[in-house]
Amino acid sequence: MKKILIVFGTRPEIIKLAPLIDELKNVTDLTTLHTGQHKELAEPLFGLFNFVPDIDLKIMKESQDLFDLTTKLLPRLKAAMIDIKPDYVIVQGDTTSSYLAALSAFFLQIPVLHVEAGLRSHSIYEPFPEELNRRQISGIASVHFAATQLNKQNLMREGVNEDRILVTGNTVVDALYSLLNLPQDNNAAMNKLMEQTSKGRTALITVHRRENHGQPFLNILKAVEQLLELYPDLKVLMPVHPNPNVQNALHEYELRNSRFITIFPVRYDQFIRLIQHSNFILTDSGGIQEESAALGKKVFVLRNKTERQELLDSGLGELTGTDTEQIVNRVTEFLNSDQKTSKNRIYGDGTAAQKIRNFILDQL
């Protein structure tokens, strides 16, 4: 059996790697390593997806920047990889934890397998630092598991051999489908929230990206305030990210409207329920763009660039940036139209992890 090390640090990585961990745990000598970056957001996922990391580096620190993360994480990853001696290291996406894990494996000459390879915004600072991270991982990886044909084309344009790329779909759809098949939990707070927003229209908003800290976030809140004034039947739900920059901006703006409802971050299965319940989504998240498409929800992307061009091409997504007027205009156009949306399989059919497992067993 091949010895495989899977490294993850953030909540999205855990969600997207959980289906692959489930596929590999009984057919490989598997070790899972959590860097410990998103402690409060990560731990509920381990219970939800029924696994506990074999190693937890516990590097979480308040107000930790990229320099702190890099200097703390690299030596610990080196020590873990020397101890485990994996045949392959698997990383997902474009986080700094993924890039540093890939770099550590490269320094130790361990082949890297990259899940969700080939996303490109073609602007090095948008999103930051993810665009650079994923480009660097592509230069290191031996095998690239691309979610879409466009991602594959991006890699080939950069000189990656086609025989090193496998188009799989995105594992987030696997995770999403697995949870949709479970019975809904009878959570009193969630049930109350659903009842509170059952009449009229509901929007779900998430904002957390570094580029949107400060004035861009205040611009977004101003747009939300204007939309609430324009549409008396509209309610806006916002799970508030624990990042102090997000918390401080909310406190500074003081959006006082009873139909602007802030809640603590909820468990992933509950968050999926919120997407299903909403009429449209406002987000700067990458994964939520994919989840919303799989559930057929209109998405307004609060960025100047997106690496998920397929979403825009499908008509389910629109790029608004953080300009107040632009956000209000695009959402108003949608709310005043009879535009219908439907579920879309641009990010796969829920079998991505199975395809990756089969490739590992058959080819490696």
Which residues does the annotation mark as catalytic?
94, 116, 130, 208, 210, 241
CB 65, CB 37: distance < 8 Å: no
- Residue 98's closest CA among 111, 114, 120? 114
Number of helices (H), then strands (E), belonging to the chain: the values are 15, 13
Q: What is the DSSP string of 186-209?
A: --HHHHHHHHHTSSSEEEEEE---
Q: What angle do CA 172, 267, 225 make, to 5 degrees?
A: 95
Q: How far apart are CA 207 and CA 288, in angstroms?
A: 11
Structure tokens of 194? 């659903």
Sign of the Cα torsion 304, 308, 312, 318 reads: negative
Diameter of the chain measured on Cα atoms: 61
Q: Sheet with 298-301: list strands edge to edge.
A: 260-263, 234-239, 201-206, 280-283, 298-301, 317-319
Structure tokens of 12? 């999205």
Q: How far apart are CA 33 and CA 75, in angstroms?
A: 14
Q: How far apart are CA 358 and CA 162, in angstroms?
A: 18
Q: How far apart are CA 15 and CA 116, in angstroms?
A: 13
